[in-house]
């Protein structure tokens, strides 16, 4: 728990950003060794945007997003835009990291498994093919929600990770009908880095098994770094996605 004094006049956006930045997992990308073969190299534009979002400084010239919304100089709109270009790639990267890590600890998993669905027919993101805990296979569903989205600010400006936790609770409700043979876990993370409690539990268990399997005590840190980098790449794609592809910027 991090305590800090914030003036009553501090805006909700700044409060949410500072609370998020104080969480250990949110700055893991800063600790990653920039290695292209390991996938831990942050491209210059991604690095610039990651630093800018963490510091709350300008990232772009105000312009109009393809969705019609005005994007201010902080660029935050892209992180929660419904047309967000980074959403799919970030979601896919998160699931791939989980699946590969599970394979490393001898728990091979498949994505979007058939035969496992929630009440509305949608499938979860992944499932192990062998028991994970108490004889049950792990079924997970991951999501990355925006710390700074106007709908999340009432929560995230008071407590770090509150949007991720709310998203996890929503997913757990949707999957409560799954059979007892499944060990369901929601994996909620946020654009500014915090994890929800369920994601923290999953990554803690996975880190312990990675250390045990590989014998490398840094294995847990590497996992956190890969997740953190995937989030930053998604953020960069989302912000760039608000910019028109043509030669003219619809500047205000």
Which positions touch Zn ion (CB under 5 A)? 65, 67, 69, 81
Taking the complex as a whole, how short is the minimal distance between the CB of residue 149 and Zn ion, in angstroms? 12
Cα angle 172, 175, 176 (rounded to 5 degrees) comes to 80
In this complex, which beta carbon is closest to Zn ion, that of residue 83 or of residue 166?
83
Taking the complex as a whole, how short is the minimal distance between the CB of residue 238 and Zn ion, in angstroms? 9
Contact status, residue 233 vs residue 86, Cβ threshold 8 Å: yes
Contact status, residue 102 vs residue 108, Cβ threshold 8 Å: yes
Taking the complex as a whole, how short is the minimal distance between the CB of residue 68 and Zn ion, in angstroms? 7
**Cβ-proximal residues to 30 (8 Å cutoff; 6+ apart), any chain:** none
Taking the complex as a whole, how short is the minimal distance between the CB of residue 146 and Zn ion, in angstroms? 12
In this complex, which beta carbon is closest to Zn ion, that of residue 210 or of residue 243?
243
In this complex, which beta carbon is closest to Zn ion, that of residue 126 or of residue 234?
234
Taking the complex as a whole, how short is the minimal distance between the CB of residue 240 and Zn ion, in angstroms? 12
Give the closest residue to 20 by CA, choosing from 48, 43, 50.
50
Exposure string for 125-144, b = 16+ CB within 10 A, e = fewer: bbbbeeebeeeebbbbbbbb
Tokens 């093919």 map to which residue? 129
Q: What does 121-177 look like in DSSP terms, one character per residue?
A: SPPPSEEEEEEEETTEEEEEEEEEE-TT-TTTHHHHTTSTTHHHHHHHHHHHHHTTT
Taking the complex as a whole, how short is the minimal distance between the CB of residue 239 and Zn ion, in angstroms? 10
The structure tokens listed for 184 are: 């369901």
Count the Cβ atoms, other than its own, within 10 Å of residue 243. 19
In this complex, which beta carbon is closest to Zn ion, that of residue 32 or of residue 81?
81
In this complex, which beta carbon is closest to Zn ion, that of residue 69 or of residue 104?
69
In this complex, which beta carbon is closest to Zn ion, that of residue 76 or of residue 226?
76
């Amino acid at each position: 728990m991090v305590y800090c004094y914030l003036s009553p006049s501090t805006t909700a956006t700044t409060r949410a950003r500072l609370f998020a930045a104080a969480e250990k997992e949110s700055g893991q990308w800063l600790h990653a060794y920039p290695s292209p073969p390991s996938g831990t190299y942050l491209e210059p534009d991604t690095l610039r945007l990651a630093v800018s979002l963490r510091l709350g400084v300008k990232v772009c010239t105000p312009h109009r997003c393809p969705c019609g919304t005005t994007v201010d100089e902080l660029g935050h709109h892209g992180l929660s835009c419904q047309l967000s270009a980074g959403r799919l790639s970030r979601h896919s990267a998160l699931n791939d990291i989980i699946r590969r890590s599970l394979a490393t600890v001898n728990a091979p998993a498949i994505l979007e498994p058939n035969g496992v669905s929630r009440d509305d027919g949608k499938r979860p993101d992944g499932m192990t093919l062998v028991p994970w805990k108490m004889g049950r296979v792990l079924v997970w569903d991951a999501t990355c929600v925006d710390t700074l989205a106007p709908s999340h600010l009432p929560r995230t400006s008071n407590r770090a990770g509150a949007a991720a936790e709310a998203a996890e609770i929503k997913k757990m409700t949707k999957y409560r009908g799954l059979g007892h043979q499944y060990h369901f876990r929601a994996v909620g993370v946020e654009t500014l880095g915090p994890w929800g409690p369920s994601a923290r539990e999953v990554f803690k268990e996975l880190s312990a098994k990675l250390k045990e399997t590989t014998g490398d005590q840094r294995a847990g840190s590497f996992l956190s770094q890969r997740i953190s980098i995937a989030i930053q790449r998604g953020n960069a794609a989302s912000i760039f996605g608000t910019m028109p592809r043509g030669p003219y910027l619809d500047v205000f």
